[in-house]
């Protein structure tokens, strides 16, 4: 439409310039075409016979004229005329010539109905017709441009905006429909496509949610027999005395622990995806962290500093899940002494958990909290795991309005938890 408007403006300017140029050129030609010699002959003769105007009838100039004195009184006329003054003659586009005698104004010579006068009238009519045609053409172009914009360009602009919304995944924006538009059926088909895409997306979402709910339900149900297996193993350890049998029981117990950990991570991740991983915040004494660490330090590798006296806003059960995941990672990939230090940092209790293992590469460090990500080192690949521990820790600490930061400690690996104060 911009190109159309630019073209319309250019056409209008060209028409106007052509009309004006033609007018001035032909008007100049008209002035040049006057018989200057004849006019001067009439003027000179009238001036010589100013005192005897009746003698002018004896001359044949083949051009009708009128003579007016300085008071616009008619002195002589070759034929009857309604012209009563020199100004009126000018208004009627008649040729007027001043009459003088030794630089004294005598009157005005007015040429009547000459061929030049007829040409001027014809010229005016031609220009009026051309101007009217030009105005009609421009009006037609404006109306036609508006029609094209409304019936062709506007639907395509709407379609362009519609496609951009669809590309962004916004399927709730309907495409405007115009029944009288020749592209109405065309645009309606795109809107039907949008509705079908929205329905398909909703069906897909419902299916995925059902799958995740099924996984969560199965994960929860599987934990019951796993717990039973672990209890049986612990009972057999007490009753069985044979070393070979005890080794097998220990192996079964370890595998059950691994399965239990994997199922717990899978269950927590699925609950987060379906929006059911919830935290119940409460004000707790910070000393609860020391108890949580003690309960989950199965190998006795932690060395803990003093905890500042303060109240923290946490979900104790979820915080234990976070710390347990971090400690299990340290057991698996470092198996060294674990230093845990506490400090107060502008509205947070900072808890730093550091081991003295090999750490991770700088390229993998930002990826550790992504779902299912596991490092590429041989140490990581040799250990069982799902890549969900740090992801779950990140989700839970953020739900408690805290933050988790990971970095290499040179040597070792450090996890910094920012736990909000009450």
Q: In this predicted model, what pLDDT tens digit does every residue of 43-57 receive, in sequence order?
A: 888 888 888 888 888
What are the two backbone dihedrals, phi and then psi, of residue 44, each rounded to the nearest 5 degrees?
A: -65, -40
Bridge partner residues of 27 (DSSP) = none
Q: Which residue has the higher pLDDT, 32 or 95?
A: 95
For the whole model, what pTM was predicted?
A: 0.47
- CA 105 from chain centre, in angstroms, equals 79
- Give the separation between CA 367 and CA 294, rounded to whole angstroms: 29
Strands 338-345 and 282-285: unpaired
For the chain, how are helix, strand and coil distributed in percent, rounded to 5? 55, 15, 25
DSSP, res 307: P
Residue 395's pLDDT is 86
Q: Which residue has the higher pLDDT, 1 or 223?
A: 223
Residue 384's pLDDT is 62
Bridge partner residues of 413 (DSSP) = 408
Helix (H) or strand (E) run with residue 313 in it: strand 311-314
- Give the separation between CA 396 and CA 264, rounded to whole angstroms: 14
First to last CA, the chain: 62
Q: What is the dihedral of CA 377, 381, 383, 387, to 10 degrees?
A: 90
pLDDT band at 4 (very low <50, low <70, confident <90, very high): low
Cis status of the peptide bond prior to 411, with omega within 30 of 0:
yes
- Give the separation between CA 219 and CA 227, rounded to whole angstroms: 12
| Lowest pLDDT segment from 61-70, 220-229, 277-286, 305-314 | 220-229
CB 183 within 8 A of CB 151: yes
- Give the separation between CA 315 and CA 400, rounded to whole angstroms: 7
3-state SS class at 103:
coil
- Give the separation between CA 166 and CA 171, rounded to whole angstroms: 6
Average pLDDT of the residues in 56-67: 84
Q: Which residue has the higher pLDDT, 374 or 304?
A: 304
Residue 251's pLDDT is 83
Print burial letters for 333-372: b (CB count within 10 Å at least 16), e (below 16). Answer: bbebebbbbbeeeeebbbbbbbbbbbbbeeeeeeebbeee
Q: Which residue has 């040429």 as its token pair? A: 111
Residue 405's pLDDT is 92
H helices of 149-183, where? 154-167
62: left (phi over 0), alpha (psi -120 to 50) or beta: left
Residue 26's pLDDT is 53
| Lowest pLDDT segment from 74-78, 113-117, 340-344 | 113-117
Residue 245's pLDDT is 83
Strands 338-345 and 302-304: parallel
Among candidates 266, 267, 262, 269, which has minimal Cα distance to 385?
262
Max mean pLDDT range (95-104, 304-313, 356-365, 366-375): 304-313
pLDDT band at 419 (very low <50, low <70, confident <90, very high): very high
Q: Two tokens at 201?
A: 């997306």
Q: What average pLDDT does the structure give for the chain?
A: 79
Average pLDDT of the residues in 58-82: 86
Q: Two tokens at 41?
A: 């002959």
């Amino acid at each position: 439409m911009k190109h159309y408007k630019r073209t319309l403006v250019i056409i209008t300017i060209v028409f106007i310039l052509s009309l004006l140029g033609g007018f001035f050129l032909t008007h100049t030609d008209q002035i040049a075409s006057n018989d200057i010699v004849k006019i001067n002959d009439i003027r000179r003769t009238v001036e010589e016979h100013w005192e005897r105007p009746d003698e002018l009838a004896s001359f044949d100039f083949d051009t009708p004229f009128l003579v007016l004195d300085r008071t616009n009184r008619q002195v002589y006329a070759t034929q009857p005329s309604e012209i009563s003054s020199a100004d009126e003659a000018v208004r009627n586009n008649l040729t007027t010539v001043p009459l003088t005698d030794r630089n004294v104004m005598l009157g005005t010579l007015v040429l009547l109905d000459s061929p030049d006068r007829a040409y001027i009238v014809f010229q005016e009519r031609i220009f009026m017709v051309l101007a009217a045609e030009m105005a009609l053409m421009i009006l037609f172009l404006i109306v036609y441009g508006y029609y094209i914009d409304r019936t062709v360009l506007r639907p395509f602009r709407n379609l362009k905006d519609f496609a951009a919304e669809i590309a962004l995944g916004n399927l709730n924006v309907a495409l405007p429909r115009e029944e009288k538009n020749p592209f109405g059926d065309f645009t309606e088909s795109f809107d039907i496509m949008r509705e079908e895409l929205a329905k398909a997306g909703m069906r897909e979402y419902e299916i995925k949610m059902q799958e995740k709910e099924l996984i969560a339900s199965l994960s929860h149900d599987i934990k019951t027999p796993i717990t039973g297996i672990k209890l049986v193993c612990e009972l057999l350890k007490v009753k069985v005395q044979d070393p070979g049998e005890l080794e097998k029981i220990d192996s079964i117990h370890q595998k059950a622990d691994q399965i239990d950990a994997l199922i717990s991570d899978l269950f927590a991740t699925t609950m987060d995806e379906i929006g059911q991983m919830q935290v119940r915040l409460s004000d707790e004494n910070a000393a609860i962290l020391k108890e949580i660490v003690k309960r989950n330090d199965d190998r006795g590798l932690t060395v803990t500093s003093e905890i500042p006296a303060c109240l923290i806003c946490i979900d104790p059960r979820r915080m234990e899940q976070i710390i347990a995941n971090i400690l299990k990672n340290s057991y698996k990939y470092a198996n060294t002494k674990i230093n845990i230090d506490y400090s107060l940092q502008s509205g947070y209790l900072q808890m730093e958990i550091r081991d003295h293992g090999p750490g991770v590469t700088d390229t993998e460090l930002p990826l550790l909290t992504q779902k299912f990500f596991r490092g590429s080192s041989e140490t990581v690949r040799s250990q069982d795991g799902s890549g969900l521990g740090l992801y779950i820790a990140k989700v839970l600490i953020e739900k408690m309005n805290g933050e988790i930061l990971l970095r290499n400690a040179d040597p070792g690996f450090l996890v910094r938890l920012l736990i909000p104060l009450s």
